[in-house]
Structure 1
Amino acid sequence: MSQAGDAAAPVSYKGWAGIRRAFGTPSAFTMLVFGFGSGLPFLLIASMTLSTRLRDVGLDLGSIGLISLASFFYLLKFLWAPLIDRYAFPLTAFLGRRRSWLLFSQLLVAASLGALALSRPEMGVTTLVIWVLVGSFAGATQDSVVDAYRIEIAPATAQGALAATYTLGYRIGLIVGGAGALYLAEFQGWTGAYLWMAALMLVPVVTTLVAREPAIPEATVVRRIDFFGAFWQPFTSFFSTNGVLLGLALLAFVGLFKFPDQVIGVMAGPFYLDSGYSKADIATVSKLYGIWTGIVGAFLGGICVAAFGFRRMLFVAAIGVALSNLAFLLMAYNPGQIWAFYLAISADNLFQGFAGTVLVAFMSSLTDRNFTATQYALLVSLANLPGKFAGGVSGFLVEATSYATFFVLSALTVVPTLLLLAWLWQRIRDPVREPGVMGGGG
């Protein structure tokens, strides 16, 4: 499916024509399916579908927030990403460095979803937490390999378009793992819903088996470093490229960029239920209509990055994500009103999709292709870490104040991000504006 020569071809991926061209490459379909495989388990293991399930069986908000921390492997994948960059997975090494890890992680995701299907959180959460840990480790590993695969088959100038391509598959996975699982839970129960999700992981598994392994760049040094060097060289490379001060500032900016959106993620499902919406309503509006709105936002982000570069788009996205949180006040003050649900989800998912593509393009431009999985995993982990820990205690904040106060406070958390972006403005290198200057082997 994917062609090793994609990255070497001197092809422009800017604008509408570039996006159509990206869709037309053999690697685009591979990324579409890999995106589906990454998106499918996320809500089931680390976000709204799981929290909705726990609320549905009677757990309190504080417990739901704490249980969400069991998916922390999604935030720590950079710790074992050096092994993914350096070695093939032993049992499937015949598939190559990237595909061997993909097959292992995809099968483990399927197994964890099957085990979660059989768990009974209303009888005790210990077994469920264990399998959430396993599933988040497997899902995080899969994401690391998919991200490295995407970066290695396209130059930096193509990442905006391919991020949109990948996002399409990821969002379809979210639709299935969100709306699909909720519909199934409404009519077949949570056990049946999770078993169907486990079976659908066979789609990316088959794709991994028939896809081609991406070529290793000629300049790569991965094979020439020892075991310990595999862990420290990706980090020293990042700071030698950017300098210590700029490197730390870039990492802090990535960590804060989507904080306003992520801090409300765990509470979204319980908020919808507490506002009087049924699981079918949530599936239709949030996980069906909302996901497609997010896809529109993602493609809009890809087009804008191709046309204007990501520096100005980072500002637009940061403001949009923060302001979209205030749209939930419509639901807080109009509980049970379907029009308020649609308006809030329209604003939230449109800017989520837009910001996601912009951030992916930006982070991809920062990576050294000798250490693709490690550096990108570090950036993705930082992009989710602050919001994840804040989400873990968000239930206590809601119970101490109100949902409306919570949404206002979450929007105000954009202020540090904007201050940091102002300092970085003249220091951010943009491949669209400054071709050839990006560090990271792009």
Structure 2
Amino acid sequence: METNLASEAPAHPTGIRAYLEPAPLAALAVGISSGAPFAMIAATLTTRLAQDGIEKSTVTLFALAFLAYNLKWAWAWIIDSVRLPLLGRLGQRVSWMLVAGCLVVAAIVNLGIAQPADDIVYTAWAAILVAVAGATYDIVIDGYRIELLKPRQLGVGAGMSQYGWRIGAAAAAGTALVVADEAGWTLAYIVCALFALPAMIAALVMGEPARHREPAERKGVRAAVQSVLGPFAEFLRRQGAFLVLLFILVHKIGDTLANLTFRLLFDDLGFTNDEIAFYDVGVGFWALLVGVFVGGWLYERLGMKWSVMISLILMAVSNFSFAALAATGHSNLGMAAAIGFENFASGFGGVAVVAYFSALCDLRFTASQYALISAAASIVGRTLTGTTAGSLIESIGYVNFYLLTTAAAVPGILLYGIMMRTGLVDAAIGTAGTEPPAEEVPAYREAD
């Protein structure tokens, strides 16, 4: 039977009103803070390194810093299980939100102080520090978002979070380019560190999520090991868990490979910083907005499964559009079309895929399990980008490279089709996709 999380409640706001409820608006705010640190070590750092004359193979090697996002599951259990002294009185999620946000601010400022042309090693370590701080912030943000949203809001909330992520990433990247042209990269990074604030403000305003479950008291070595391994063991015991995990690993290989090399393409095609800021931020912003709302609209009507399938196909086609841009050369219209379609596909996919991954979590281990899922979703693509993307581009050219990324998206589409036909998409859903807040079912804790 189709799992349609969008229609869980008999009566609730629909259309635009669904996006204006407090929880989805909070998801927008935390998404903004999630996107900013990623942008500081992705497109922004790529542009900075390229303009400093760093060779392509070294530039793409910096993508390995993103592996911190793929390894965040290793310390996510701390966010779920360890109660902070003093700040802990604000709540488990809120207290960690404040601490992680401050770490992000400090790390971004530190990267701004680095000078790649003078000390590339220090710059590399500074980028890794931003990645670790950003990954920790993401652990807290994702746990907070999933627990704050009701099951029926997961689609809309995922869309708003994705929209916020793109606003944060695009606004930080655009701000950095503009400020860097006027006052240098150091000040640009210091200004962009302020994008960490929205999530902290949202957490203080909204408070601790109603669906959050306080960490259990654990003492001794065995209990500590259970805190680390328990979330993963619970996921792997579900029906079809290994096939679902395989899908998570492979579905985004092509998209990740392509996305982390766009700025290299723009630079080699001769686009200026102003052009990149206008098309990548301006056109991309509005295309993403359309994609989020179209994705939310279809999510309500088609349900989760078909929405995810459509998003996978759109992401594959978006990679092909950059092969067309590379073949065309410097073309403002071509750049607008490629970026517009890619952002539309990302916005659409941000509703469906993120909602699906959120629904896979068990509320007892929200932060840990979503950290595992989101890390697994891009680890293969990021590893390949950091180790082979630059060399592949230099050896086969941009056109063939983006055609290769298009082909890399096909296995994920086929695997998800198998999961749909066998019912594994529905069978693996966790309590985050089914269980309402405590005030809607007063005795649900006693029923556990």
* TM-score, normalised by the number of residues in structure 2: 0.88
1:112 aligns with 2:107: yes
1:427-438, aligned counterparts within 5 Å? 427-428=422-423, 438=429
Instruction: Give SS of 1:122's match.
Output: coil
Superposed CA deviations along residues 149-208 of structure 1, whole A, max 9, x for unmatched, are 111122333200111122232221122112221222223221221111123433433443
RMSD over equivalenced CA pairs, Å: 2.2
Match of 2:254 in 1: 260
What is residue 229 of structure 2 aligned with on the other side?
232
When structure 1 is superposed on structure 2, of 370-379 and 166-175 the one drifting more is: 166-175
1:107-151 residue CA offsets vs partner (Å, 9 max, x unmatched): 111111111111100112121111211111111111111111111
Give the drift of 1:276: 0.9
2:22 to 23, 26, 35: 26
Q: Aligned match of 1:272 in 254, 266, 272? A: 266
Residue 224 (structure 1) shift: 5.2
The 3-state SS of whatever aligns with 1:230 is helix
1:438 and 1:375 map into 2 onto residues whose CA distance is 12
> What are structure 1's unaligned runs of at least 5 residues?
1-9
The answer to whether the 8 A contact 2:291-2:345 is kept is yes
TM-score by length of 1: 0.90
2:155 and 2:351 in contact (8 A); partners too: yes
1:68 aligns with 2:63: yes
Which deviates further from its counterpart, 191-200 or 96-105? 191-200
The equivalent residue for 1:372 is: 366
**Contact 1:367/1:439 (8 A) holds in 2:** yes
**TM superposition shift of 1:215:** 3.1
Structure 1 counterpart of 2:286: 292
Question: Which deviates further from its counterpart, 281-290 or 24-33?
Answer: 24-33
Counting only pairs closer than 5 Å after superposition, residues 334-353 of structure 1 correspond to structure 2 as 334-353=328-347
For 2:356 and 2:348, the matched residues in 1 are separated by 13
Q: Give the residue type in structure 2 aligned to 1:408.
A: L
Residues 61 and 82 (structure 1 numbering): CA distance in 2 closer, same or farther, change over 3 Å? Answer: same
Q: Distance in 2 between matches of 1:149 and 1:264?
A: 30
Residue in structure 1 matching 2:161, options 158, 166, 170: 166
Structural mapping, 1:134-213, within 5 Å: 134-213=129-208
CA distance in 2, matches of 1:114, 1:414: 36
- Structure 2: how far apart are the matches of 1:12 and 1:361? 20
| Contact kept in structure 1, 2:9 and 2:152, CA below 8 Å | no
- The answer as to whether partners of 2:174 and 2:277 remain within 8 angstroms in 1 is yes
Partner of residue 223, structure 1: 216
Q: One-letter code of the match for 1:262?
A: T
Contact 1:260 / 1:414 at 8 angstroms: preserved in 2? yes
- Could you say if the C-alpha distance between residues 98 and 19 of structure 1 is closer, same or farther in structure 2, counting changes exceeding 3 Å? farther
Q: Which moved more, 1:351-360 or 1:19-28?
A: 19-28
Q: CA–CA distance in 1 between the matches of 2:316 and 2:308?
A: 12
CA distance in 2, matches of 1:311, 1:364: 14
Structure 1's consecutive aligned runs of 4 or more residues displaced over 6 angstroms after TM superposition are: none
Match of 1:440 among 424, 431, 434: 431
For the 8 Å contact 1:19–1:161, the answer to whether it is kept is no
Letter in structure 1 aligned against 2:231: P
CA separation in 2, counterparts of 1:334 and 1:405?
13
Deviations 1:237-262 (A, max 9, x none): 112233xxx11110111122222111
| Cα shift readout 1:267-298 (whole Å, capped 9, x = no counterpart) | 11111010010011111101221133122212
Unpaired runs of 5+ residues, structure 2, are 1-7, 435-448
SS at match of 1:402: helix
What is the number of residues matched between the two proteins?
Answer: 422
Q: Quick one: percent identity of the two aligned structures?
A: 30
Distance 1:90 1:137 in 2: 22
Tell me the residue number matched to 1:55.
50
Residue 311 of structure 1: which of 305, 308, 324 is its match?
305
